Amino acid sequence: MSFLPAILAQGGGQGSGAGPQLWIGILLMIAIFYFVLFRGNTKTRKQRAEMLAGIKKNDRVLTIGGVLGTVVNVRDREIVLKVDETTNTKMTFLRDAIRTVVTEDAELTVEENR
């Protein structure tokens, strides 16, 4: 933040009258940065935490590695997915490795991104 003293030195002189406008501008920029950077992240984290807490047996989920599966068992930190119906293959994932619960609408979105 070495540019801030230079800005203050330019507009903070006696008789310039730019002092209050400068401070209002700086405060406005800080407020905008707060809402863009921090507020958006906390809202997204809260929605993700609610989604992960709501995962239940027989939900179809997509992992961050791209594995699609059906939830067989839900534990505190782990989720067991059945990834192949014919061979009854099951894989265990950490709860944080789940990207989303796949619904009919979301499944179309996943196919469009290929």
- The SS3 assignment for 69 reads strand
Mean pLDDT (the chain, rounded): 82
Element (H, E) at 27: helix 19-33
Q: Scanning the structure block, which residue is given the tokens 């002092």?
A: 19
Question: What is the Rg, in whole angstroms, of the alpha carbon atoms belonging to the chain?
Answer: 25
CB 92 within 8 A of CB 77: no
Pairs from 50-54 (Cβ < 8 Å, separation ≥ 24): 51/100, 51/101, 52/95, 52/96, 52/98, 54/101
Q: What is the pLDDT of residues 20-52, one digit of tens each?
A: 888 999 999 999 988 888 777 888 899 999 999
pLDDT band at 18 (very low <50, low <70, confident <90, very high): low
- The pLDDT of residue 106 is above 50: yes
Question: Would you identify the CATH topology of the domain 55-112?
Answer: SH3 type barrels. (2.30.30)
Domain boundaries, the chain: 3-51, 55-112
Amino acid of residue 11: G
Q: What is the pLDDT of residues 64-96, one digit of tens each?
A: 999 999 999 999 999 999 999 899 999 999 999
Element (H, E) at 100: strand 98-101
The pLDDT value recorded for residue 36 is 83
